[in-house]
Structure 1
């Protein structure tokens, strides 16, 4: 009879976990398996770009909006094309990830260096291992803003993104921008995905391996 197969070790986080489902993100991360699918203006074609990425998620003070209480993280994600790690990054974003425990909502407030601002979110539970962040232009709560040039040349019609926490301690994300491209006259999905591993824990004693 064969020996029983051991189950994967799940990383468990100690403490009050006031960040709810955002708790596993605290720290600094790197990922070398990034893949971007986008339209390249100079080549007039849609193609893939592989990339290396760094990310950091740092707790912020409790935010109080009247009766609303939000716990959150300040974050940044920066990516370099493979072979250009010593050069300027090709993608950079900063923002906040917020947890509204009472309403059961996760919120992603993100600004891209291209002149795009998105407030995205969805329902979530404290124990969720998959988080969704969705936004639509014109939505009064979870909406999208972009500069006038992009609105004319690459209008964003929809934004969806997912964070997934894996049993091995890594986390992966997918991101999808539905664009109406003036150059081609059609809509296309600009997608990004990567898996990152933690390289620095801000509170080393807070977790059990």
Structure 2
């Protein structure tokens, strides 16, 4: 794993930075004649973007990411996702924006309380 910059507070996102891989996934797609199952493997890459200022008042720590998911049987990509994970330390808010090539986008957010040391 690469180490994030020590001067930027990535909060709960800090542990995501780096490359992640898994090979134990199973995609289950319901079909009229029964479920179709496809084993898959995936890779995710999270990179520290740094901090950004929004409207001069809000400072956000940002990670960009890319996820590729491939079927084991033919090595074809069946899911490709890009986006950002964002930490607003002042508001204790985590945000996630993503896009996939089928024209689907999403922005979600929630609160995160950091436990005192």
Assess same fold via TM > 0.5: yes
Would you say 1:80 and 2:70 are equivalent positions? yes
Structure 2: distance between partners of 1:14 and 1:74: 15
Structure possessing the higher relative contact order (Cα contacts under 8 Å, 6 or more residues apart)? 1
Deviation of 1:63 (Å): 1.4
Structure 2: distance between partners of 1:44 and 1:125: 47
Choose the corresponding residue for 1:91, options 79, 83, 92: 79
Deviation of 1:114 (Å): 1.3
SS in structure 1 at match of 2:77: coil
SS in structure 2 at match of 1:18: coil
SS in structure 1 at match of 2:74: coil
Residue number in structure 2 paired with 1:119? 107
Q: Which runs of no fewer than 5 residues in structure 2 stay unpaired?
A: none
Choose the corresponding residue for 1:21, options 9, 12, 32: 12
Equivalent residue runs for 1:1-209 within 5 Å = 15=6, 18-39=9-30, 45-66=34-55, 67-85=57-75, 88-126=76-114
Aligned residue-pair number? 111
The C-alpha deviation readout for 1:101-122, integer Å capped at 9, x for no partner, is 1111111110011110000121
- Provide closer, same or farther for how the CA distance between residues 109 and 75 of structure 1 changes in structure 2, counting only shifts above 3 A: same
2:8–2:51 CA contact under 8 A, matched in 1: no
TM-score (norm 2): 0.81
TM-score (norm 1): 0.48
Write out the 4+ residue segments of structure 1 that deviate beyond 6 Å after TM superposition: none
Deviation of 1:53 (Å): 0.3
2:65–2:82 CA contact under 8 A, matched in 1: yes
Structure 1: distance between partners of 2:77 and 2:53: 35
